[in-house]
Chain A
């Protein structure tokens, strides 16, 4: 591993920080996104306005600006947090707004007749939700949420710009340090290693999301498993 000029230790440390930021943000985004997205799909006007404002603001702002807001404003109110926590909060605001929009869209896409039929059967709102709507909506929410997961993992790199020592920041520092101490920055292999690390994590996630979406598109009974996968791969290699 000498092609990295001894930077592999720092890169590994940075990789662990990247995993921390993305892991925490993934969990918080999905939980908070659910808590915002389900109310957003109801017909209560005031709830719709509030959730819409949340979704539009945090989806609309660049992730970096959101992180800056958390990083600069929270300490003023007496809460002392470092760049890693600020990054997690900022990224989670963005991720939860995006997931909330997916959840809202997924629930809204279920035909109104389903809900009417459930009402006619005397099911309560909660029963309608988890017996009728949620099982159908989730089939539609899950495929795009894999793409969102990849986007959240990629977004964790932005925390390096507010000072989190993630893999991007460590690669940057290593290049500067090696250039100074050895005259050879090893910059290309180091940057390619960082790219490879993200590719190995995000590409399978995106492939899986696309596969699930494909399966949803041409849903036929009993065609869920291996035959679907084979057809998916064939369709991709020719198209």
Chain B
């Protein structure tokens, strides 16, 4: 296997465009999955009637099925109900729903881990449930769940490579396309590996810094 650096430099515009799309869909899905997880965790924690069971079913279903099947259901299955997305939107929805299911459990675990004395104290001070949640429980639950939410965010970033299955043209798609055109296998695979590993490391480093910065003693 010969390794050609000049080929790597030549192909960079194509890989870079793919990387930009990977980063865009990952960033969007990571943010949306966090929001979805927070809302669903709140519904589960407060046991909002009916909704809590819907959320429970959603979480269990999406955690027990492969993300590829979910993406296919959204991209190939839903059009028969007249719901049609292009592959960019479908990829974002699939990653969000999948990550949101895991984040629901992550953030809910964070809510449970908040010492009960704190919410008792806040109701003794006359805060209603919504205020207790917003001012006392959520800020602490978010801090507690930073490591697990980070893991899922990295998984979302890595799983975005699976979206070539529904024709989303991202980094892996660009690289495999170049492989089929040029048979430059080692260059492409090594750059893929380096890019994915370094961005994952970057995300987890950033999360550790965030956790240090917002750390509260005793929780």
A34: interface (CB < 8 Å):
no
A to B contact number (C-beta, < 8 Å): 111
Instruction: Please tell me which one of the listed residues B73, B162, B193, B196 contacts residue A195 in the complex, with CB atoms under 8 A apart.
Output: B73
Q: A72: which B residues are within 8 A, CB to CB? A: 179, 185, 189
B207: interface (CB < 8 Å):
no
Closest CB of chain B to A171's CB: distance in Å? 7
Q: A175: which B residues are within 8 A, CB to CB? A: 76
Which chain A residues in 75-101 approach chain B with CB under 8 Å? 76
Q: Which of A38-46, A57-65, A114-122 contacts B (4 or more CB under 8 A)?
A: A57-65
8 smallest beta-carbon distances between A and B, as pairs: A191-B77, A154-B66, A62-B158, A202-B64, A203-B64, A191-B73, A157-B66, A188-B77
Provided the pairs A68-B176, A191-B76 are in contact, do residues A198 and B161 lie with their beta carbons within 8 angstroms? no
B60: interface (CB < 8 Å):
yes
Provided the pairs A76-B185, A168-B72 are in contact, do residues A60 and B200 lie with their beta carbons within 8 angstroms? yes
Q: A191: which B residues are within 8 A, CB to CB? A: 69, 72-73, 76-77
Which chain B residues in 27-82 approach chain A with CB under 8 Å? 60-61, 63-70, 72-73, 76-81
B147: interface (CB < 8 Å):
no
| Residues of B that sit less than 8 Å from A by CB | 1, 60-61, 63-70, 72-73, 76-81, 112, 158-159, 161-162, 164-165, 172, 176, 179, 185-186, 189, 192-193, 196-197, 200-201
Q: A61: which B residues are within 8 A, CB to CB? A: 158, 193, 196-197
A233: interface (CB < 8 Å):
no
A158 touches B68 (CB 8 A): yes
B164 touches A161 (CB 8 A): yes
| Residues of A that sit less than 8 Å from B by CB | 57, 60-65, 68-69, 72-73, 76, 150, 154-158, 160-161, 168, 171-172, 175, 185-188, 190-192, 194-195, 198-199, 202-203, 206, 239
Closest CB of chain B to A180's CB: distance in Å? 14
B193 touches A65 (CB 8 A): yes
Output the nearest chain B residue to A171 by Cβ-Cβ distance.
B72
Closest CB of chain B to A99's CB: distance in Å? 17
B192 touches A65 (CB 8 A): yes
Closest CB of chain B to A93's CB: distance in Å? 12
Closest CB of chain A to B80's CB: distance in Å? 5
Other than the given A62-B172, A68-B176, A199-B61, 18 more pairs (CB < 8 A) read: A61-B197, A62-B159, A62-B196, A65-B161, A65-B196, A69-B189, A72-B189, A76-B185, A154-B67, A172-B76, A175-B76, A185-B76, A186-B80, A191-B72, A195-B69, A198-B66, A202-B64, A206-B63
A65 touches B200 (CB 8 A): no
Interface centre among A64, A185, A188 (most CB of B within 10 A): A64
Interface centre among B67, B68, B72, B201 (most CB of A within 10 A): B68
B65 touches A187 (CB 8 A): no
Give bound CA distance, A29 to B74, whole Å.
Answer: 31
Closest CB of chain B to A152's CB: distance in Å? 11
A199 touches B64 (CB 8 A): yes
Q: B67: which A residues are within 8 A, CB to CB? A: 154
